[in-house]
Each structure stands twice: as structure tokens, then as C-alpha cells.
Amino acid sequence: MTNPADLMSSLTGVLRQYWGYDSFRPLQAEAMRAILENRDSVVVLPTGGGKSICFQAPAVALPGLAVVVSPLISLMKDQVDALTECGIPAACVNSSMSNSERLQVANRIRSGELKLLYVAPERLCTDKMLDFLETSQVSFFAIDEAHCISAWGHDFRPEYRMLQQLRSRFPGIGVHAYTATATEHVRHDISEQLGLREPEWLIGSFDRPNLVYRVQRKSDVVKQIRSVIDAHPNESGIVYCISRREVDETAELLSRAGYKARPYHAGLSDADRIRHQDAFLNEDTHIIVATVAFGMGIDKSNVRYVIHTGAPKSLEHYQQETGRAGRDGLEAECWLLWTSANFITWRRMQEDLPDDARAQAYESLKGIERFCTGVVCRHKALVEHFNQLYEASNCKACDVCLDQLDLVADPLIVSQKILSCVVRVKESFGADYVAQVLVGSKDARILGNGHDQLSTYGLLKQEKKETVRDWIEQLSSQGFLVRVGEYNTLKVTDEGWKLLKGQASARLLKPSANKKSAADKSSKVDAASWEGVDQQLFEVLRGLRRQVAEGHGVPPFVIFADTTLRDLARRRPTTMTNFRQIHGVGDKKTADFGTLFTDAIREHCQQQKLSVDVMGSDAATGSSAPAKPQPPVVNSDVAVSLSAAKQLAFDLFREGKSIDHVATVTARSPSTISDYLSEFIAITQQCDPAPWVNESVFQRIREAARTVGIERMKPIFEALGETVTYDQIRVALACMRNLPPVG
């Protein structure tokens, strides 16, 4: 048997050859290693985190056939189409296929040609299929959308329980579970239901930094939806509604207004649902208006916005549904338009659930309600809901951190009135009761308790009870109040007592949050992802991509992701060597599409008088002349051998961009970019560390290095009293090594 270590080293070549990727994303290498070492695993990576490639790449590297369990035909088809376009032999078996088509797949398995087989759980777990696979060389089983096996998951599917027999029928073969959203309870239930053997637990960050979250009370909903759509002309988006009736009405109103919109819900015929979904995938329509029945089977990478016209029933659902935006890692917007009536609707729909399930559903509903009314960073709220730490003080990618909320001018006074009322009622009542006391309600219960005599009675009588109720939720989400006991009575926390004493600060929303329009979508991710891109060329390439996709009978994103098109429009390659260096371009796609796309790039650049095959500032400025004097260029032979991310980093270094800026643009960590910069300095033989390290800091580092040497950074760091960063030291040392010897 091939050594797992040797196979692991070959995976980098597999990524480069078939997918055109230069490195692993977080936890991908660990997930692949578990497969190669035949250890079961549970892998939780957010949508867009590269989950599928965790099992696709090892399937290519290992001998035999990988069997992938997938719940929907459309999802199988998209994945198989994408793999085939990359040159990887893959197939699926499903109910839409004829007997002859299924026989052809079986023959490809018998011949050893196929590397991946996609199949639904109910088809996989038939005796006929299992008997057939026992005679085949199965390398491993990958269970996609694995949360479906758990009754505690947000999308339980009974047919997934049939997968329990895989362990007994194939005792020596690894079973690996993959999902984008699962709480700790669900993760352990997945492992138990599948009978996994001491699985490797690989839980990625639940944060999606490329998504910009905005939450707003619903008012004129069609106007609100249109403002988001208008900010994304000719781009794909999903509009989620709670009811089928609302789906039909919204889709009709948008269509009448001239937008390409189609409805999707379980009340439509199978033929209509398939037709509307295909139109969306193939970019014949830009907007799909849907219930939550739409989404799991969508592998479309370039959804640029998701709008909820009502609050979903849990944060798990919200995370899953918004996760369908920006799967390519580029910027996307997520708008949540809500009213208090949404929560009443959900509770009414959940009344008939068994007691335990109803209690769980109500608790989940409270979580999304707190999210809607909260004024803490949206990224932080989502990540911490899944029991992960979010350390950034400002995500720069939500309405809270972008300062796009209407806030109460003097929140301290309002907050103190609310907290004082909680104390005055002896911390023995819930939020609704406290709100009634504050607005001066004549409710018999309040009068009977004598709470109309409290000093806090009617302190906020000028406000609506719903507004005060929202403020209580906001104070809870910020940690100043907490609910306790069976009846969710309010208690003032330690932070709340500090607030009462004026030793802390709170943020409270005004009743209507309209500070910024939907069209104002400025954020760090939007600016960074378009850095240096010729947007006119991007549109040319987008049109060409669609033509190619129609010819191949696949959705456009299967040909190239938007990330690839932007990289092409940024670097403008006209040779096969340079085309092959573009992010997301493997060997087969270079052979299939290289000439077509480079010809289009060459023609556009000639018309617009743009330079081609550029890796420097002219790509960023859009002109053929450099904007300013440049540092020494990298030798062209060296440039060809650089990874796409590293080459882009080098281009930005020539423009004098900071380490943080380059890290954002290339989606690499600052420490990795610091290493790139050191290599760039060595290749270009720069002696001046500006603009990355100023002259005074550079001289301090040089003085310290004369004393402790330049072999290690830690002695320099300590000699400077830990006042200079390791990144600054690394850059300075790289420049010092280029200085001519003294004397």
C-alpha cells in the first residue's frame, strides 16, 4: 500500500494540476490526511470553505473508487460536471437516469476508470448497490450534508439513517462526514448515527469574512429588496420568504418591475422547479425568490446577495441560507428584513411539535430574535452562537461595525431606566412585563402588583412597548441583562451594574434603522476583491464564459469561478504559461479554454491600449504606463514559478502596499505575507525597507542586530523591549542582508 505521507505530498500536485490551486485552505490538509490514513472524520467547514475538495482530491490520489453520498440530484450533477471539466473521471447514479446510463456507470466502475461516484442515501443503501460495491475497490465513503442524519440538525432527513449499515457492511473502509453547519450536539449525533470509530474532529471557523451582514426592520419590503438588487446589476441573488404565497407575490412584483426573477417552492410542479433552478444556475435569470425548499442543491459559486424578507426560525438556518452567498470567497451581501410578526408566525407553526422538539424550536427562535434586535457585531454574534471565539474588535463587514445603524443619542440614560426597572421589580419578571411597566401600562397584573407606584413606572411612556422590548433584547445581547429560570426572568449582570453606575457604555437602536441605504455597500471585502481588476474586461470574460458554458451544457460557474475571471482581468495573460498561473486554472482548463480566453484578453487590451501579461502596477491602475517609479522587477523566469497568490503579493509590494492590505487582497495570513515580502526583498535586492518599516525603526533594528546578530529574530525583539513587531524585524533583516559589506 502506498505510504500516506507520500500520498499527502502528492496532493499539492493534484490541487495544482486539476484545480489550479497552490495551497490548502484551513483544515483541508488535515481532512485529507484523515482520509489517506483511513481514519474516520467529522469535518465542519462553512459554505465556501472548500469542503468538497477535502474528499475530491484524496479520491484522485488514492487507488479505487470514492463513494460520495449527496441528497439532491442537482447537487450531484453540478459536482460531477465541475469534476469532469477539471479532467477528473466522476459520475452519479440517480432516478433521472435511464437503465442504459446506469449500466454505463457500472461498467466504468468495473473497469476502474471512475474515481468518484455520487449517489443518494436511499439508492446507496439498497442491497443491490451495496452488493455491487462490495465487489468494487471502494477507497472511502464521504457523507456530504451530514447534518441531515441528525434529528437535532436543522434539515433532518430520515433516509440518511439508512447509512448506519455502511459500518457493518464495509468495516475496514473509512467513513467521513462533512457539513457546513452543525452545533456540538449535532456533530456528536452525526458520529454516533454513522458508527464512526474514534473520528478525527475538524471544526473550522464559522465566520465568513467575505459576507457583509445587514439587519433592518421590514417596512416597504419591495422597495427594500429592489434597492439591494439595484446595487448588484446583472448579478445573481436569492430572496428568501417564509411562505409560498409571499414567494409568488414577490416574484410577480419583481418581474413586473423588469427584473429577471423566478419563484421556487414546494407548491410548484417538479418541472417548474427544475426549470426555474436551471435558469438561475445558467444565468438566464438573475434572481430566485424562494422558501427554504431552495438551496441545499445549489453549488452556484457567484451568488452576490441573499435577502431574507422575514426572520428564519434559527441562527443555524440563517447561517446555512446566507452561506449560499459568496461561495467563491468574493464579497457578497446578506440582508435580513424582519418584523416581530415573524416570530409569532414561527411559534404558531411550531405549536404542534412534540414537547421536547417544541422547546428546542422556541429556544432556537429566541436566538435569531436576539440577533435581529442586537447591536453587536453580526460576525461576532454568529460565530459565538456556535461556541467559537471572535476576537476582532471591528469586522468592517456588517451594519454595526460599518456604523450604518440609527442609534439612540443618549443610550446611557435609557439603559439605566430599563435596568433600574428590572431591579425595582426585584428581578422577578420577564422582558414583556418590564416593558409594560416602563411605558406605563394599565394592565391588571401590573396594578395588582402595585408596580404602578414604582419610580420607574412610565419612565419611557413616550415610547411604544415594542421599542422598549427591543431595547431590553439589545441590552441582553450586549451582556447587561440575562434571562434565568423556567420563566426567563430578567437579572442584571455584573456588567449591567457597571452600566447603572455609569462605568460602562451601551448601544441602542432607534425604532427605525434607515441610516444607510442598501445601495451603500462599502466594506473592506468589496474594495479588496476588485483591487486592480479591469471591470470592463471582467464583463467581456463573463460573457465569453457564458457562451462556453452553453456549448458544454453546464452552468457558467463550472467553467470558471468569478475569482478566476477577476484574476484574468487583473493580470491579463496572453500566453499559455501565464494563463496557467491564474488562480483556479488547471491543466485541462488551460488546454480547453486557454486560447479562447487569451485571444479575448489580447483583443480587449489592444482596443483599450492596455498592456498585457502584466504582474505589476499597470494591472492595478488600468493604464499601460506605470503610475510611479518602481522597485527592481523580478526576473521573468522567477515570476513564472511563483504561485498566483505570491505573484499577486509581489505585484502589490511594488506598489508599496502594506502587509495588512496584501493579506486582505490575497486572502493569506499576515505572517505568510511577511514571508512573501522577505522573499520579494531578497529577489529584488532592495536595501530600503520603506514603506513597510520607517527609517527610525529600521535604524533601531540595525543597532540591536549589531549587538545580538541577525541569525534569530527573538534576541532582537527582546533587545528592543518588545516594542517592534516580528514582521518589522523580518523585513528589516531582509533589507540588511542586501546591504554591501562595510569596509
Return the closest-CA partner of residue 647 out of 600, 679, 602.
Answer: 679
Same domain assignment for residues 182 and 217: no
Q: How far apart are CA 310 and CA 342, in angstroms?
A: 6
Judge whether residue 591 has pLDDT over 80.
yes
Same domain, 277 and 365: yes
Give a yes or no: residue 419 inside a domain. Answer: yes
Determine, yes or no, domain membership for 196. yes
Contact 241, 266 (CB under 8 A): no
Q: Which of 500, 521, 542 is the last residue in one of the domains?
A: 500
User: DSSP letter at 16?
Assistant: I
Is residue 154 located within the same domain as residue 258?
A: no
* Confidence grade of residue 391 (pLDDT, cut at 50, 70, 90): confident
Residue 508's alpha-carbon distances to 463, 474, 681, in angstroms, are 14, 7, 49
What is the full DSSP assignment across 673-692? HHHHHHHHHHHHT----TTT
Q: Is the pLDDT of residue 21 over 90?
A: no
**pLDDT grade, residue 53 (50/70/90)?**
very high
Q: What is the pLDDT of residues 23-43, one digit of tens each?
A: 888 889 999 999 999 999 999
Rounded Cα distance between 346 and 102, Å, is: 43
User: What is the overall mean pLDDT for the chain?
Assistant: 85
In the predicted model, is pLDDT for residue 578 greater than 60?
A: yes
Residues 225, 197: one domain? no
DSSP for 612-666, please give it.
SS--SHHHHHSSSS-SS--PPPPPHHHHHHS-HHHHHHHHHHHTT--HHHHHHHH
Burial class (CB in 10 A: 0-12, 13-18, 19+), 366: middle
Q: Does some domain include residue 629?
A: no
pLDDT (mean) for 46-57: 86
Residue 2 pLDDT > 60: no
- Position 602 in a domain: yes
Same domain (yes/no): 56, 196:
yes
Would the pTM of this model clear 0.75, i.e. be above it?
no
Residues 136 and 53 in one domain: yes
In the predicted structure, residue 566 carries a pLDDT above the cut 60: yes
Q: pLDDT per residue over 504-550, tens digit each?
A: 888 888 765 444 444 444 554 555 567 788 999 999 999 999 999 99
Question: What CATH number does the domain containing 448 carry?
Answer: 1.10.10.10
Coil, strand, or helix at residue 305?
A: strand
pLDDT score of 297: 55
Cell of 140: 472511502
| Same domain (yes/no): 185, 245 | no
> Is 284's pLDDT higher than 70?
yes
Helix runs in 296-430, H state only: 315-322, 340-349, 355-373, 378-385, 411-424
**What is the DSSP secondary structure assignment for residue 295, as one 8-state letter?**
S
Pair (9, 131) in one structural domain: yes
Q: Are residues 270 and 378 in the same domain?
A: yes
Point out which residues pair with 482 in neighbouring strands: 491
pLDDT at residue number 364: 87
Per the CB < 8 A criterion, the answer to whether 238 and 290 are in contact is: yes
Evaluated on CA atoms 635, 637, 642, 647, the torsion sign reads positive
Q: How many domains does the chain have?
A: 4
Contact 583, 666 (CB under 8 A): no
Question: Is 461 part of a structural domain of the chain?
Answer: yes
* Whole-number percent of the chain with pLDDT over 90: 44
- The reply to whether 446 falls in a domain is yes
CATH code for position 177: 3.40.50.300
Residues 46 and 156 in one domain: yes
Q: What is the pLDDT of residues 625-661, one digit of tens each?
A: 333 323 333 333 333 334 556 767 787 788 788 888 8
Residue 698 lies in a domain: no
Flag whether 694 is in a domain: no
Cα 712 from Cα 682, distance rounded (Å): 17
CB contact at 8 A, 650 and 632: no
Domain extent for 247: 211-385
CATH number for the domain spanning 588: value is 1.10.150.80
**H/E run at residue 253:** helix 244-256
Q: What angle do CA 294, 297, 298 make, to 5 degrees?
A: 80
